[in-house]
Structure 1
Amino acid sequence: SMLKAKPLTQAWRGPLPFELPPLVRRTSSAVTRGATLANQVAVVTGSTKGIGFAIARRLAQDGAHVVVSSRKQQNVDQAVVELQGEGLSVSGTVCHVGKAEDREPGGHGALKHCGGVDFLICVAGVNPLVGGILGSSEQVWDKMLNVTVKAPALLLTQLLPHMEKRKGGSMILISSVGAYMPYSKLRAYNVSKTALLGLTKALAVELAPKNIRVNCLVPGVIDTAFSQVVFEDPSLWTYMKALCGTQRVGQPEDCAGIVSFLCSSDASYITAESIMVAGCSFHL
């Protein structure tokens, strides 16, 4: 369950209101940046590998307590151990965002002991399925839209009472450059990522009275296992280099700093925005 922390992954127990637990050791980069997100709590889905893991690490380095999650207990345990080994304040839980029972927040140790949630970052997605729109089965459409579009909205609904306790907060959705420049082999995937741009704007309007901001990160081709299907298409790179001069593949860490900024008070007047992190931009 989204709210059932296993003994290993429930990293700490503290009093209410939330206090950061003593840190074993902080990385030098964390010391340099300072705790801009101190005493705040972030829930990051799909955060045991790739972009999600880099975001979780950065938010924790910047002072937040981070709840990492993914579908597999083994991956959650591994991520928590690694981040705790860096002296960071994290706990973890198994969460398949496409399953209603995993989105249910009742009883999650991290939420009970933190007293609320400040940030929800929805990174979990569906592995790109190669094929055209007209060749996609109903099962493919259902899975793609369920996990990518519907699940973040329903998860937010579940966590909203915990965010309202903080009298403000931030939600960040993760789209893809495919929303603007559709990958020829990933057409249903492109559509689901385009839908997130609209979801961002709709949620931002709805949540503005609650002082909860909603923004969208739009990564380009980032060096993760998730993107291998794109790496195999040399014509894409030829096109990207000719159009934008992009000379390198993005790294997960390239996506982390902007998320931390969007969560911080420095971004308090930024909402409904979609920001490309792609070495280029496809919108005005």
Structure 2
Amino acid sequence: MKDLFSLVGKIAVITGASAGMGKAIARILGLNGAKVVISSNDETACSNVFEEFQKEGIQVTAIPCDISVKKEIDFLVSETERQVGKIDILVNCVGIAIPGSFLSINTEDFEKTMQINLQSAIYLTKKVIPSMQQKKDGAIIYLSSLSSVRGNKNLGLYGISKAGLAQLARNLAVEFGPDNIRVNAISPGVIDTEFAKPMTTNSEIMERRIALTPLRRIGKVEEVAGLALLLASKAGGFITGQNIIVDGGTTISDGN
């Protein structure tokens, strides 16, 4: 029982790991024994997180990568294998949100959103799964969103792309379950990050949102990271194909 959350001997790649939930997930996986590879398109931020994690005793490697570029994804995987080893855990935390109504969606915004939020995850996963099949072991986690299960008139395109990640998790869980590869998605509600600042700094929006949330607050990055640790470890060994909502109860509340 004491080793249920241990990731000693595991190699974890976390994209979008230079800030917010991605950084928190990388930290908690590292603190529980994983060798973590942090990656984002911000090379300076990656270097800063690398130094920060090293001071905490985390076994960390930084490999910057713009996940909108396939050659950089190729490099991320090959360099991880060269420097650290075969990937056991993949956590995809990259995402962009372009606001706008349905009628304002244009080809450029659609292609950019789908490329970064969905297509890059598909491409990266295809690079990682074969080695997991060989080992008959692996855990893949996609950071989806509450927008994947609710309608949204201003972030509909973002929601569509994140719903794609949740469905991708279900599809891959079925196809690769016989190889002992578990695939899940996490759908956070409003979490205290820079990404959520447009909402969290708007008092009118937050007053309504918190009134609809039973816990009467927004979430913390470590509360999402804790779930990622569960899904990556033996403790979550019988969980696959799920889109787990972390929202303080917002989706189940009637506002009372």
TM-score by length of 1: 0.82
Which residue of structure 2 lines up, in the alignment, with residue 58 of structure 1?
A: 28
182, 202, 207: which is aligned to 2:151?
182
Equivalent pair of 2:210/2:217 in contact (CA under 8 Å): no
Which residue of structure 2 lines up, in the alignment, with residue 248 of structure 1?
A: 217
52, 67, 72: which is aligned to 1:102?
72
Which residue of structure 1 lines up, in the alignment, with residue 89 of structure 2?
A: 119
Aligned-residue Cα RMSD (Å) equals: 2.2
Equivalent pair of 1:116/1:166 in contact (CA under 8 Å): no
Which residue of structure 1 lines up, in the alignment, with residue 107 of structure 2?
A: 138
Which residue of structure 1 lines up, in the alignment, with residue 139 of structure 2?
A: 170
Pairwise mapping of residues 210-221 of structure 1 onto structure 2 (< 5 A)?
Answer: 210-221=179-190
Equivalent pair of 2:215/2:248 in contact (CA under 8 Å): yes
Is 1:202 matched with 2:185? no
* Runs of 4+ deviating beyond 4 Å: 32-35, 232-235
Distance 1:84 1:232 in 2: 33
Equivalent residue letter for 1:37: L
* Change beyond 3 A, Cα 1:228–1:184: farther
* Change beyond 3 A, Cα 1:35–1:216: closer
Gap regions ≥5 residues in structure 2: none
Identity over aligned residues, as a percent? 30
Distance 2:168 2:23 in 1: 23
Distance 1:273 1:178 in 2: 15
Equivalent pair of 2:38/2:46 in contact (CA under 8 Å): yes
Deviates further, 272-281 or 158-167? 158-167
Which residue of structure 1 lines up, in the alignment, with residue 18 of structure 2?
A: 48
Equivalent pair of 2:4/2:235 in contact (CA under 8 Å): no
Gap regions ≥5 residues in structure 1: 1-31
TM-score by length of 2: 0.91
Distance 2:6 2:52 in 1: 22
192, 200, 222: which is aligned to 1:231?
200
